[in-house]
C-alpha cells in the first residue's frame, strides 16, 4: 500500500487544460500596407514565461509572445498572445521551478506557435513560423540576470 502511494505520479506533469488567455492581432495600416509587401517584413519577437501557484500541486505556466512586423519603418502588424497551461505538477520541490519555467512551456509552445502562424495567415499576412525556443537557455539567462541585479544592490 505504501509503495502504491509513493508511485502515484512521482515525477509527473499532468496538463489539465491549456488555453488562449489573450490574443490580439492589429494591422493598423490595412489594406493599403498589403501593397507595400514586396520583401519579407522585419520581425521583432519578444517572449516571456511566468508561472503561478494555484492550489495543492496545481500551477499555471504562461507563455507571452509579442511580435511586431514592419515594412521599412511602417508597422505591418502587432500580434500579442498569452497562452497558458493549467497543470498538476508532482515533482521534487527542488525541480518544480525548472519544470514550470522550462518543461511545461516546452510542451505547450508548439500549440502557441501554431496559433501565431494561423492568426497571421488568417489576418491576410504572409506565412510566418516562430523558431523553436530554448526554454532552458531562457531560464538560465533570467536566473543570471536576477543574480547580477542582486549583486549590484548588495
The pLDDT of residue 109: 98
Split into its structural domains, the chain has a count of 1
pLDDT of res. 11: 52
For residue 51, the model assigns a pLDDT of 95
Give the domain CATH number at 31: 3.10.420.10
Model pTM above 0.75: yes
Sorted by sequence, the CB contacts under 8 Å of residue 18 that are 6+ apart come out as: 83, 84, 85, 86, 108, 111
Nearest to 128 by CA among 36, 48, 37: 37
Q: Is the dihedral of CA 86, 132, 138, 11 positive or negative?
A: positive
Q: Is the dihedral of CA 101, 54, 60, 15 positive or negative?
A: positive
- Residue 49: phi and psi, rounded to 5, are -130, 135
Containing domain of residue 49, as a range? 2-153
Residues of the chain scoring pLDDT < 70: 1-11, 153-154
Q: What is the pLDDT of residue 147?
A: 80
Amino acid at each position: 500500500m505504501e509503495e502504491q502511494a509513493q508511485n502515484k505520479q512521482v515525477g509527473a506533469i499532468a496538463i489539465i487544460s491549456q488555453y488562449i488567455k489573450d490574443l490580439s492581432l492589429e494591422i493598423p495600416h490595412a489594406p493599403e500596407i498589403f501593397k507595400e509587401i514586396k520583401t519579407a517584413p522585419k520581425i521583432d519577437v519578444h517572449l516571456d514565461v511566468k508561472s503561478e501557484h494555484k492550489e495543492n500541486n496545481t500551477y499555471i505556466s504562461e507563455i507571452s509572445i509579442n511580435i511586431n512586423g514592419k515594412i521599412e519603418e511602417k508597422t505591418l502588424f502587432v500580434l500579442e498572445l498569452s497562452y497558458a497551461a493549467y497543470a498538476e505538477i508532482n515533482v521534487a520541490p527542488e525541480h518544480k521551478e525548472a519544470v514550470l519555467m522550462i518543461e511545461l512551456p516546452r510542451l505547450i509552445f508548439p500549440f502557441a506557435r501554431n496559433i501565431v502562424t494561423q492568426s497571421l495567415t488568417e489576418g491576410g499576412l504572409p506565412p510566418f513560423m516562430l523558431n523553436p525556443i530554448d526554454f532552458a537557455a531562457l531560464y538560465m539567462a533570467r536566473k543570471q540576470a536576477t543574480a547580477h541585479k542582486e549583486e549590484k544592490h548588495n
